[in-house]
Amino acid sequence: MAQRTSSRRKTLIILAGLVLLSGLLRAFVLQPYIIPTPSMEPTLMPGDRILVNRLAYQFWAPNRGDIVVFAFPLDPKRTFVKRIIALEGETVELRDNQVFIDGRALQEPYLKPGDYPPYAPQTIPKGKVLVLGDNRNRSGDSREWGLLEKSYLIGKSWLIYYPFNRMRTL
């Protein structure tokens, strides 16, 4: 009888520890988001559910190609998801439906084809990045509201976890 009670106590302690650990992960490391718009098609579809690593930019610098969640600069209560295209110190230009970084064409196999307006050459200042949607024709992004302060970055998209047939790391 005493052994059975001890076994139940151990099981409860383990379960409580798992609940606590998952709560801490949810609060400080991994945060779920739902993709509401087609601005990141075909990479992320409306209704996709993603997990975002909130610690990523506490320890590492953002990189070109990262899919990021950030506070929208014009209304920080809202969050957006876009791809980092240009980093501080780089000169970026959009012309002929192509992105150029420091004069070299950027290869973007994830990009949804289409025509989009040019963006005059601009050197990205310290502390900022240029973010664009993969579906450039249906994306409100840096072309519209300006460069993104790195301090607005919430985290790096890590995983599509739903729908299950689209589950994959990003």
Which distant-in-sequence residues (6+ apart) come within 8 Å of 32 by Cβ? 49, 50, 51, 52, 161
Catalytic residue among 39, 139, 142, 157: 39
Tokens of 151: 């301090």
Contact between residue 150 and residue 62 where contact means Cβ atoms under 8 Å apart: yes
Q: How far from chain centre, in Å, is Cα 50? A: 9
Going by their DSSP bridges, the two strands 119-123 and 104-105 should be labelled as: unpaired
Residue 139 appears among annotated catalytic residues? no
> Residue 62 and residue 22: Cα distance in Å, rounded?
26
Residue 22 appears among annotated catalytic residues? no
Catalytic residue among 82, 128, 150, 156: 82
Please identify every residue annotated as catalytic: 39, 82
